[in-house]
Amino acid sequence: MLAAQILAPGRAHVIETEQPTPGPDDVLIEVAAAGICGTDIHIFRGEYMAVYPLIPGHEFSGTVIGCGENVTRFKVGDRVTADPNIPCNRCPACQRNEPNQCENLAAIGVTRSGAFAHYVIAPEGNVFPIGNLSFEAAALVEPLACVVWGLKRVQVQPGDSALVFGVGPMGCLMVQSLRSVGASNIVVTDTVPWRLEQAMQLGASEAVLADEHQERRLKAIAPKGYDIVVDVTGIPKVLEQSFQYARARGKVWVFGVCPVDAPATFIPYDVFRKDLSIIGSFAVNRTFQESIAMINSGLIRVEPLISHRLPLADFVQGLEMAEHDPKRMKVQFSLA
Ligand SMILES: [Zn+2]
Ligand SMILES: [Zn+2]
């Protein structure tokens, strides 16, 4: 089968390799669509907890073409997606019902072979039927499931105002998701005007270009601050400046993935004086069912977020596009 492989940080190629064989509890999936995530770019650069050499790809959908002998819920021909995170189910974190904090967390496309390949294996318990969703839409269930997990952590209250830094595909999912759980005024800011337009079309209330007037404009919109300030950029400098926009008792949500070990500073006195909450949310935490339902019902629109569709042979070019193309949103590989 064809597969994209990262040999070591900075070195990737597309290879012909052996088709994987499912174990007794596994489902073998023929990949139809697989999206590039910021995490894949971090993995390519060696800025994430990956194991090399690696076939990445953790946002995907496809068709079941084989099942291990113990698999009972799926059969050949089923259209599916899969939660990439595989907790061990026996460590103290798993025993506390916090599987995303599993001490032995494995992940498809991070610590084991992923979906930038014609075939991928997932344990049955990680596989979800996608009903009538298109394969392209279903490959966006995973990123939405990350937002949904964060929403559960942050506990958005009816009528909350929100400030979203960064409206790439994740930020656009964030805007729609905040709206769906009752946020009122949702202000977005980004360096790319085209992305701001997209976010407005998907439900943002106001857009502010991240230029030299950004601070003044964001403060004019909400002089006392925003109930929720969320960084989706993963840029430490952006996170640092986001604190000042939270209202007293507000919440600063650390969502974007900053490079491992990159520091960011904040003013502890402000956190103390304003009763601020700093909330992190990591990956997915059994939030796939909700995400599939949100897309299926039309509550969240994902198709407008797909900007590029490429063959897998263009893997390295795809990574480049996902990072630098000025008109990029979600870049997906089409394998079907
Ligand atoms: Zn991802
Ligand atoms: Zn565990």
Give the number of whichever ligand sits closest to the CA of residue 93.
2
- 246 and 157 within one domain: yes
Structural domain includes residue 286: no
- 131 and 73 within one domain: yes
Q: What is the per-residue pLDDT for 274? A: 98
Give the number of whichever ligand sits closest to the CA of residue 87.
2
CB atoms within 10 A of CB 156: 21
> What's the CA-to-centroid distance between 288 and ligand 2, angstroms?
19
> What's the CA-to-centroid distance between 104 and ligand 2, angstroms?
5
- 216 and 178 within one domain: yes
Structural domain includes residue 113: yes
- 129 and 8 within one domain: yes
- 83 and 100 within one domain: yes
Q: What is the per-residue pLDDT for 330? A: 97
> What's the CA-to-centroid distance between 333 and ligand 2, angstroms?
31
Q: What is the per-residue pLDDT for 292? A: 98
Give the number of whichever ligand sits closest to the CA of residue 86.
2
Q: What is the per-residue pLDDT for 46? A: 87
> What's the CA-to-centroid distance between 188 and ligand 2, angstroms?
36
Structure token pair of residue 313: 């042979």
DSSP-derived secondary structure for 202-248: TT-SEEEESSTTHHHHHHHH-TT-EEEEEE-S--HHHHHHHGGGEEE
- 74 and 34 within one domain: yes
CATH number, domain containing residue 244: 3.40.50.720
Structural domain includes residue 93: yes
Structural domain includes residue 258: yes
Structural domain includes residue 295: no
Give the number of whichever ligand sits closest to the CA of residue 147.
1
> What's the CA-to-centroid distance between 140 and ligand 1, angstroms?
9
Residues 6+ apart with CB under 8 A from 216: none
- 150 and 129 within one domain: no
The structural domain count of the chain equals 2
> What's the CA-to-centroid distance between 174 and ligand 1, angstroms?
14
C-alpha distances (whole Å) from 236 to each of 260, 274, 319 are 11, 21, 22
> What's the CA-to-centroid distance between 8 and ligand 1, angstroms?
19
- 156 and 238 within one domain: yes
- 246 and 120 within one domain: no
Q: What is the per-residue pLDDT for 221? A: 98
> What's the CA-to-centroid distance between 94 and ligand 2, angstroms?
4
Q: Phi/psi of residue 297, each to 5°? A: -80, -10
pTM: 0.96
- 64 and 185 within one domain: no
Tell me how far the alpha carbon of residue 8 is from its chain's centroid. Answer: 23
Which residues constitute the domain of residue 131? 2-140+302-334
Give the number of whichever ligand sits closest to the CA of residue 144.
1
> What's the CA-to-centroid distance between 40 and ligand 1, angstroms?
7
> What's the CA-to-centroid distance between 185 and ligand 1, angstroms?
27
- 306 and 252 within one domain: no
Structure token pair of residue 124: 């049955």
Q: What is the per-residue pLDDT for 51? A: 87
Structural domain includes residue 296: no
Give the number of whichever ligand sits closest to the CA of residue 96.
2
Structural domain includes residue 297: no
Q: What is the pLDDT along the chain (336 residues), one digit of tens a residue?
A: 999 999 999 999 999 999 999 999 999 999 999 999 988 998 998 887 788 999 999 999 999 999 999 999 999 999 999 999 999 999 999 999 999 999 999 999 999 999 999 999 999 999 999 999 999 999 999 999 999 999 999 999 999 999 999 999 999 999 999 999 999 999 999 999 999 999 999 999 999 999 999 999 999 999 999 999 999 999 999 999 999 999 999 999 999 999 889 999 999 999 999 999 999 999 999 999 999 999 999 999 999 999 999 999 999 999 999 999 988 999 999 997
Structural domain includes residue 292: no
- 240 and 184 within one domain: yes
> What's the CA-to-centroid distance between 273 and ligand 1, angstroms?
35
CATH number, domain containing residue 104: 3.90.180.10
